[in-house]
Amino acid sequence: MIIDYAALVAEARIARERAYAPYSRFSVGAALLSADGRIFHGCNIENASYPVTLCAERSAFAAAWSAGVREVVALAVVADTAGPVSPCGMCRQTMFELAPDLAVLLANLGGHEQHTTPRELLPGGFGPDSLLK
């Protein structure tokens, strides 16, 4: 599958506009591309009880998994940062668990981009193979 990264970033920008970030004012958008060509949006949803906050990346994965999708091929994440946005540890762990070889494009509103994968973002990551059988 050929991935149109520009279109995927555009979708992440749309998702970013839906963020609920009244405390940090740091809106993040994500767009997750499934193997069948569907795009699932995610945005951060903050909460006054900070640990309850949901990140954009995990929000996009939750939307896809809730729809029954298990094969994803690319994820774009966008925020208003100086360089490409960096996912938090929980998002890195979620990506590593569900799609360790996913093509990930980290971007900012200024057009800076970084291509990576969950394996690169979380070297030595803890996954299903780490558990005793």
Find the CATH number of the domain harbouring 44: 3.40.140.10
- pLDDT for 129: 86
Query: Considering its fold, how many domains does the chain have in total?
Result: 1
Domain that holds residue 77: 5-123
Residue 129 covered by a domain: no
CA angle 91, 94, 95 (to 5 degrees): 85
Residue 1, pLDDT score = 84
Q: Which residues are catalytic?
A: 57
Q: For the chain, which residues score pLDDT lower than 70?
A: 133
Please report whether residue 64 resides in a domain: yes
- In sequence order, which residues have a C-beta less than 8 Å from that of residue 111 and are 6 or more positions away? none
Distance CA 10, CA 31 (A): 9
* Predicted pLDDT of residue 132: 75
Report the C-alpha gap between 132 and 129 in whole angstroms. Answer: 8
